Amino acid sequence: MRFIRTTAVTAAALVSVLAVAGCSGSPADEPEQTEDVSIDYWYWQDDTTDTTIQDLADDFEEETGIHVNIQDDIAQPDFYDALVNAVAAGNAPDATHLNTNMFGQLINANVLEELSDEIDGWDGADDITDSLWSYVENADGTGTYALPNKFLTFFMYYRADLFEQAGVEVPKTQEEFVAASKAMVDAAAGRYGFDIRGGANGQDQWAAFLVAGGARFLDDSGEVVFDSPEAKQANDLYLQTYESSPPGSINDGFAQIISNFQAGTATMIINHLGAWKALVDALGQENVGAALIPSATGDPSKTEYMGTMNANAVLARSEKKEAAFKWISYLAEEKAQLAITQSPNGYLPVITSVAEDPQFADNPYFQISVEAAENGTLAWPSVPGTTVATQQVWQPAFQGALLGDNPGDAVVEQVAQALAGE
């Protein structure tokens, strides 16, 4: 099978670069000094007006003497490519923000520092929610390559006001979801159903729908099983919503689905906790409904949902690893976690002490996220093929299916082949 390449430096080239250059760290005979040190940290902003991370960096410098140079002007869809190119050029940061779908190739190419020893010596490790460690481990559980930072579970937002006006019930099964999307269409009023988001990073909401439909990435032995009948059935239903999706949805990314939802052009979207403040500020909480992603059975107790982790890693070739680890561990401790959870880019906290804070009890978007997590979550696996599947394969295959250029099943089959490294 021929893959379309968008990454300027492939995994094979990345491995080659590191093999020649070596993974140099701090000189053994010159212990690193962390006071009055400056480190480089890469981070992407979902909401570019949010100053939370910079504010935390200022506080961190006051407490530790370590200055954090933050680069946050690379958009998330371009972030992985930019990081890979920086590693190959020898000017990568000391620490970086990562999404779970970026881990596989970076671990395989020895780009990330293995952090087990540092975690063993960190006082905050016991506060991390136990189940979240698996998100930052190698696929076989042999090493830990990042610290949890922001946890998300995917759920469905719906325009409660428009659903009520149209007399349409909020769907619980995936069959009902397709029917509801069609029922919400009023083209004369500029109103449509689900925004299918065929553009940047739409693979996450697509995969979340398939997981709720019974798809699984890997079996217990680590074999790829994503081309299962359950995955293909859910994919077929998902593709059917395109005819009731807003015009232009084949190219929509995050900004477009949020704008369409606010305008009432889209009446359902799949996203996560990070979107709720922008939606509620624009529409009022009474108009922004939240529900679990419709599943094969409609029974949450028989459904697993999809989660994702934004984590922080130390680069293996950094010469300031101790300072870099201090920074990323600071971001996983109570003060920072509370600030991040309350920020415009709000996420689920990764530590128990903040997750149990009573201030979140009345937030329906926080609670639906927790409900999904409690039912069980799956994430893109940290295998090298995940990066290929999510960064290169999914979008052309998915858009091709929407345009009739390839069969719908090809989307699932090509993603499964990429996960398997074929």
- Does residue 11 fall inside a structural domain? no
At residue 5, the pLDDT reads 29
Count of CB atoms within 10 A of residue 164's CB?
11
* C-alpha distance from residue 329 to each of 115, 238, 241, 314 (Å): 11, 39, 42, 11
Q: What pTM was computed for the model?
A: 0.81
Q: Where residue 301 sits, what CATH number does that domain have?
A: 3.40.190.10
Whether 103 and 226 share a structural domain? no
- d(CA 338, CA 315) in angstroms, rounded, equals 26
Q: What is the dihedral of CA 9, 12, 16, 17, to 10 degrees?
A: 20
The single-letter DSSP state of residue 406 is S
Strand, coil or helix: 373: helix
**Closest by CA position to 152, among listed 332, 381, 349:** 349
Number of independent structural domains in the chain: 2
Count of CB atoms within 10 A of residue 56's CB?
20
Q: What is the dihedral of CA 43, 96, 125, 154, to 10 degrees?
A: 50
Whether 251 and 313 share a structural domain? no
Q: Which residues of 66-94 are buried (b: 16+ CB within 10 A; e: fewer)?
A: bebebeeebbbbebbebbbebbbeeebbb
Tokens of 178: 């397709």
Question: What residue numbers bound the domain in which 164 lies?
Answer: 154-305+382-419
At residue 170, the pLDDT reads 98
Whether 255 and 389 share a structural domain? yes
Report whether 211 contacts 285 (CB < 8 A): no
- Does residue 1 fall inside a structural domain? no
- Does residue 364 fall inside a structural domain? yes
- Does residue 190 fall inside a structural domain? yes
Whether 128 and 185 share a structural domain? no
- Does residue 122 fall inside a structural domain? yes
- d(CA 320, CA 30) in angstroms, rounded, equals 12
The single-letter DSSP state of residue 315 is B
Residue carrying the six token digits 């345009």: 403
Q: What is the dihedral of CA 30, 32, 38, 43, to 10 degrees?
A: 120
Tokens of 312: 């922080």
Tokens of 170: 């909020």
- Does residue 21 fall inside a structural domain? no
- Does residue 46 fall inside a structural domain? yes
Whether 123 and 228 share a structural domain? no
- d(CA 108, CA 197) in angstroms, rounded, equals 30
Strand, coil or helix: 96: strand
* C-alpha distance from residue 151 to each of 140, 148, 165, 291, 353 (Å): 21, 7, 34, 18, 15
At residue 34, the pLDDT reads 64
At residue 257, the pLDDT reads 97
**Closest by CA position to 230, among listed 174, 178, 162:** 174
**Closest by CA position to 97, among listed 341, 249, 311:** 311
At residue 177, the pLDDT reads 98
**Closest by CA position to 327, among listed 4, 55, 64:** 64
At residue 32, the pLDDT reads 61
Whether 167 and 204 share a structural domain? yes
CA torsion sign, 253 to 254 to 260 to 261? Answer: positive
Q: pLDDT tens, position by position, for the chain (422 residues)?
A: 222 223 334 444 454 444 433 443 433 344 566 667 999 999 998 778 889 999 999 999 999 999 999 999 998 888 999 999 999 999 999 999 998 888 988 998 999 999 999 999 999 999 998 888 988 998 888 899 999 999 989 999 999 999 999 999 999 999 999 999 999 999 999 999 999 999 988 999 999 999 999 999 999 888 999 999 999 999 999 999 999 999 999 999 999 999 999 999 999 999 998 899 899 999 999 999 999 999 999 999 999 999 988 999 999 999 999 999 999 999 999 999 999 988 877 788 899 888 778 877 788 998 999 899 888 789 999 888 998 999 899 999 999 999 999 999 999 999 999 999 98
At residue 247, the pLDDT reads 97
Tokens of 274: 């990070």
Tokens of 202: 């739409």
Instruction: Count how many residues are written for the chain.
Output: 422
Whether 332 and 402 share a structural domain? no
Q: Which residues of 329-367 are buried (b: 16+ CB within 10 A; e: fewer)?
A: bbbbbeebbbbbbbbbbbbbbbbeebbeeeebeebebbe
- d(CA 358, CA 379) in angstroms, rounded, equals 27
Whether 182 and 123 share a structural domain? no
